[in-house]
């Protein structure tokens, strides 16, 4: 039985490494889980391009 989860994250602001740490912490599985980015995805963080 697979469990699908939805994650809603606001204002990532180009903080790619922080996003990766968060997704690792919750064992995000892109084949089963869905990530919804709301708010600003890029701009203020150090790695907007990777985000």
Question: Is the pTM higher than 0.85?
Answer: no
Question: Average pLDDT of the chain?
Answer: 87
> Of all residues in the chain, what percent carry a pLDDT higher than 70?
92
Mean predicted confidence (pLDDT) in 13-36: 94
Name the pLDDT band for 1 (thresholds 50, 70, 90). Answer: low
Decide the pairing of beta strands 6-10 and 34-38. parallel
For residues 13 and 47, the answer to whether their CB atoms sit within 8 Å is: no
The alpha-carbon radius of gyration of the chain (Å, integer) is 12
Q: Which two tokens stand for residue 24?
A: 């690792």
Mean predicted confidence (pLDDT) in 2-14: 88
Domain range spanning residue 25?
Answer: 1-51
| Structural domains in the chain (count) | 1
């Amino acid at each position: 039985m697979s469990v699908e989860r939805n994650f809603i994250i606001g204002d990532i602001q180009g903080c790619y490494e922080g996003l990766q740490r968060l997704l690792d912490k919750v064992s995000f599985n892109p084949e089963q889980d869905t990530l919804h980015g709301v708010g600003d995805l890029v701009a203020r963080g150090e790695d907007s391009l990777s985000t």
